[in-house]
Amino acid sequence: MNIRRARAEDLPGMQACNLRNLPENYAMKYFMSPILSYIIVGYILAKMEEETAEGEPPHGHVTSISVLRSYRRLGIAKKLMLRSQESMATIYRASHVSLHVRKSNRAALSLYRDTLGFEVRDIEQKYYADGEDAYAMRLTLEHD
């Protein structure tokens, strides 16, 4: 399975994958992140937070990840997450990576917490448009 950075011509396919898999959808400009990886059957949309409090180190954020249903449980999301974490740590010197996930999303929660070692930092009430709460999660990144 080939994982590579997205090119401009990939963006419509990525947006289609997002529309099929998640209720949270994004305008095309959000798919133009500089550290976004893409494969034919899934994507990760990750960014560096531009605004950090004074003196705080930079950190990354995963906005959205999804893999088409028939390609799940093959380790693709894990690979996409690890690749993006590596870029955040080595290129951008990010101290940690954050994300939000629905409380009911067992598959994603298991990926983040059990496979990748994220911790739940907070519960954000009614974070999603339909009223569901989110876990705010964080992973501290290792530096050489």
Which helix (H) or strand (E) segment holds residue 13: the answer is helix 11-21
Closer Cβ to ligand ACO, 72 or 138, answer by number: 72
CB atoms within 10 A of CB 37: 21
Specify the 3-state DSSP secondary structure of 131.
Answer: coil
- Is 125 in contact with 133 (CB distance < 8 Å)? yes
Binding flag, residue 88, ligand ACO (CB under 6 A): no
Q: Which residues pair with 5 in a beta bridge?
A: 37
Closer Cβ to ligand ACO, 138 or 143, answer by number: 138
Binding flag, residue 138, ligand ACO (CB under 6 A): no
Binding flag, residue 35, ligand ACO (CB under 6 A): no
Residue ranges binding ligand ACO (CB under 6 A) = 21-22, 62, 64-67, 72-78, 99, 101, 105-108, 110-111, 114-115
